[in-house]
Structure formats: structure tokens, C-alpha cells
Structure 1
Amino acid sequence: MADHTEQQGSSERNGPAVVDLKEYRESRDTAPVTFHRLELNQILRIYGRMVGDGEWKDYAIDFFRDKAVFSIYKRSGDAPLYQIEKMPKLAAKQGAFAIVNTQGRILKRGHELAQLLKFFDKVQKLRD
């Protein structure tokens, strides 16, 4: 028993334990992904136009560890008609932004939010 205690004491004197950086980063409580002010302004501009046309009635914003979601509703009690998602982990690959429909199908994905939101211009033209 005395030998075991001495060994522990000697290892502590040699320096701190090695910690895997990836495990450390994953264990930390990270801040959720959010929309920046300019991104939110772009989304709310489209939202306001569609509300004015009577197409949309409500919205919700959710922030998660890996993504931010702006959900758009036709009626308050329904499932979201569209969801605009921001997933920074996909920024280098497919694009950080996506528009998802009620069934969860990705309708459009891109690197720039302004280009992505042009999708709703086409939706508006189809309904006119």
C-alpha cells in the first residue's frame, strides 16, 4: 500500500496529466449557434413581406448546440411550413444555410443566406 501511494505522488510531481483536446472541447458547455443580426434582418424582411401577403402567420426561433432554426408557420398550432437552418459545421462543405419543408426534406442549401432566401421569391410567384 505504501508503494502505491509513493508512485502516485511521484507521477503528480512529474507534471500534469495529458488531456485529449477533442474530448475537452466536447465536454465543455458550448454556447448555442445563433443567427447574427444581419442574418436575422434578412429573414425577417422576407417574413414581414409574406405576413403582409397573408401567407404566413407565426414564427419561432430555436438555438441548439449544432444549429439555429427559424421556423415559419401558416397557423400557430400547425407544424412549421418551412424552417431556415444555420449549421456552421457544414459551411465549408454544402453551405451553412438550408431551407427545410414540413416533411424534413431540404429544399435548398447554400453558403449565402441572401441567395438562399430568393427561394421564397419563387414560391411567391407560384402562388400569384
Structure 2
Amino acid sequence: MTDEQPIRLVPRNAQASAQATTGGDVSFDSRELGAILALYGRMVAAGEWRDYAIDFLKDQAVFSVFSRASEAPLYRIEKTPRLARRQGAYAVVTTTGLILKRGHELPRVLDVLDRKLRLVTT
């Protein structure tokens, strides 16, 4: 017998889920995703947003919002954990790369996108 370990074949989906549970990619937790999807639902109901995409990368998670399916995203809601102690882990970024708001608390950062109705008096 040899001292080598036997080769273990792992199905592709099982390998991806094992990587995600061992801290491979950054992702939104259920509380964060709930806040983002609540805002997304309000904006879809208002007719401003139509589609979204979620990307889980090694160093950040990105929720992209589109007004049409075939164009560049209007906004990107980014979570970058390595910036958590400095500027804050959350940011809202426009298509051109302008950071609208950055902070430590997601609901406060999302307020920049949440247009509330106000009574205008003259």
C-alpha cells in the first residue's frame, strides 16, 4: 500500500456550496437582503426599477439595479467587509462610479435611494 490519500471526486454543486460555507465569497445575510429587496419592491411598484442582479465576489457582494434588462446598472449596492472599520462596509454607487453614500449601517445607506413622498406647500 502507498501513503497517498485516495482521490475523492466531489460534484460541482457540492464543491461550490462547500466553498461558500468556508468563507470563500462575501454575501448578503438575510437581514441585509430583506432591506435591499424591500426597497427594490417599492421602486418596482413606482415603475422606476425593472431588474436586478446579485454578484458574490471574493472581496465584496454587489446588488445591481437596472431600469431595463439590457443596459448598465443604475445603482450598485455594495458590501465590502474590509472597509467596515474605516468608511463603512456598505456603499451605493452610480453607473459612473460616483459614491452616493457610504456607511456602517445598511438602512441609513439605502435612504439615499428611498424617495419618500413629502407634502410641498407654497
For the criterion TM > 0.5, the same-fold answer is yes
What is the one-letter code of the residue matched to 2:66?
Answer: Y
Q: Confirm whether residue 46 of structure 1 aligns to residue 39 of structure 2.
A: yes
Matches of residues 1-128 of structure 1 in structure 2 within 5 Å?
Answer: 31-122=24-115
**Structure 1 gap ranges (5+):** 1-28
Partners of 1:37 and 1:45 in 2: CA distance? 12
Q: What is the total number of aligned residue pairs between the two structures?
A: 97
Q: Percentage identity across aligned positions?
A: 55
Once the two structures are superposed, what CA deviation does each residue of 1:71-115 show, in whole Å capped at 9, x if it has no partner?
Answer: 000000010000000000000000000000001111110000011
Could you tell me how far 1:121 is from its partner in structure 2? Answer: 2.3
Q: CA RMSD in A?
A: 1.7
The structure having more radius of gyration, on CA atoms, is: 1
Supply the AA of the counterpart residue of 1:121. D
Matched residue of 1:65: which SS? coil
The letter of the residue matching 1:42 is A
Where does structure 1 differ by over 6 angstroms across 4 or more consecutive aligned residues?
A: none
After TM superposition, give the deviation of residue 31 of structure 1 in Å. 0.8
**Unaligned ranges ≥5, structure 2:** 1-21
Cα offset for 1:120?
1.4
How far off is 1:125 after superposition?
5.3
The whole-number CA distance in structure 2 between the counterparts of 1:33 and 1:39 is 13
Normalization by structure 1: what TM-score?
A: 0.72
